[in-house]
């Protein structure tokens, strides 16, 4: 199964902090996958910024009036190009990953999906909206993992990994090669 996003994506990943074992290629595949599944089209520009807690707390205070740590914030663009900036706290992702018993990389992906859903028009201002959004995040990430697990397994027939129904990828085989800066086109 492949994704076919109907448009173009200008995607940038900025790592202002490091996370051991983080594979940026996952984000290069994840963004167009989510946009295609959310039936988005046209020209998109998305920047994913990986930061420390202090940076995101400062943004949270300045833009939301809340002087507390958060895990992800989304800043939609105005104008003709759809998209925006998704800022993720790597420290929050690592801490939350441990509490959910999965990898920090998976938690970053989960948070990026959250940001993308906001850019696609989803809202989580009340409990019902939040529950629906979290369920959609989990559904998209499990579908993404199943799709790209099949690709990796096909590339490596000796791979003993089989898809985990929870979507956990901690026992993954090697990932297939993906170009450094893909641009989805119709």
Q: pLDDT, tens digit, for every residue of 87-119?
A: 999 999 999 999 988 889 899 999 999 999 999
The pLDDT, as a whole number, for residue 151 is 54
Q: What does the mean pLDDT of the chain come to?
A: 79
User: What is residue 127's predicted lDDT score, i.e. its pLDDT?
Assistant: 95
Q: Is residue 159 part of a domain?
A: no
- Say what the pLDDT of residue 6 is: 81
* Higher per-residue pLDDT: 71 or 161: 71
Residue 128: exposure state from Cβ atoms within 10 A (0-12, 13-18, ≥19): exposed
Q: Identify whether 179 is part of a domain.
A: no
Looking at the domain assignment, is residue 170 inside a domain? Answer: no
Indicate whether 144 belongs to any domain: yes
Residue 46 CA to residue 30 CA, distance in Å, equals: 12
Domain that holds residue 132: 8-150
Residue 50 has pLDDT above 80, yes or no: yes
CATH number of the domain enclosing 124: 3.40.390.30
Residue 179 pLDDT: 27
154-180 residues labelled b (16+ CB within 10 A) or e (exposed): eeeeeeeeebbeebbbeebbebeeeee
Residue 85: inside a domain, yes or no? Answer: yes
Question: Given this model, what pLDDT does residue 1 score?
Answer: 31
| In the block, residue with structure tokens 């450094």 | 180
- Whether the pLDDT of residue 70 is over 80: the answer is yes
**pLDDT tens digit string along 150-170?**
555 444 443 333 333 344 333
What element of type H or E holds 14? strand 6-15
164 in a structural domain: no
**What's the total number of domains in the chain?**
1
Residues in the chain: 186
**162 in a domain, yes or no?**
no
pTM of the model: 0.78
pLDDT band at 173 (very low <50, low <70, confident <90, very high): very low
Q: Indicate whether 166 belongs to any domain.
A: no
Q: Which two tokens stand for residue 92?
A: 């929050």
Mean pLDDT, rounded, for 173-177: 31
Residue 9 is given by DSSP the state: E
């Amino acid at each position: 199964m492949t994704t076919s996003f109907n448009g173009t994506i200008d995607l940038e990943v900025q790592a202002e902090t490091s996370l051991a074992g983080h594979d940026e290629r996952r984000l290069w595949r994840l963004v167009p996958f989510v946009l295609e599944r959310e039936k988005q089209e046209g020209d998109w520009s998305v920047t994913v910024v990986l930061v420390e807690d202090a940076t995101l707390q400062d943004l949270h205070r300045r833009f939301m009036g809340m002087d507390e740590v958060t895990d992800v914030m989304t800043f939609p663009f105005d104008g003709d190009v759809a998209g925006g900036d998704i800022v993720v706290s790597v420290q929050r992702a690592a801490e939350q990953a441990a509490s959910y018993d999965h990898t920090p990389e998976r938690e970053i992906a989960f948070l990026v999906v959250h940001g993308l859903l906001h850019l696609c028009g989803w809202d989580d201002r009340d409990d019902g909206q939040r529950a629906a959004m979290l369920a959609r995040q989990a559904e998209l990430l499990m579908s993404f993992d199943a799709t790209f697990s099949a690709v990796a397994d096909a590339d490596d027939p000796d791979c003993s990994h089989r898809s985990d129904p929870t979507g956990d990828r901690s026992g993954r085989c090697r990932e297939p090669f993906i170009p450094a800066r893909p641009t989805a086109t119709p």
